Amino acid sequence: MKFQSGSIVNGEGDTAANNTRFKIRIRKTDIKADYHIVYKGLIYDIEYIYPDFKKNSFIDLMVKLKTE
């Protein structure tokens, strides 16, 4: 898992939301964009899927940390 970007945005009222994105490379290639990843108890929503066009042996997932 590699950190890509992060920011704090103003939510409704006096709240702030965290917007943190990561890139995850996995060997499994049958992942769909409507899935989510659970890693070390944190939930990540999949935003984009980038396949390996040369060997089709892995995929890169662009994920967003789900915060409540």
Taking only Cα atoms into account, the Rg of the chain, rounded to an integer number of angstroms, comes to 14
pLDDT (tens digit, 0 to 9) for every residue of the chain, 68 residues total? 655 555 555 656 566 667 788 898 998 878 888 888 898 998 899 999 998 888 888 899 999 887 76
pLDDT for the residue 66? 76
Listed residue (39, 54, 41, 51) closest to 2, CA to CA = 39
Q: How far is CA 26 from CA 5, 12, 43, in A?
A: 20, 36, 16
pLDDT for the residue 59? 92
The values of phi and psi at residue 44, to 5°, are -120, 130
pLDDT for the residue 49? 92
pLDDT for the residue 47? 92
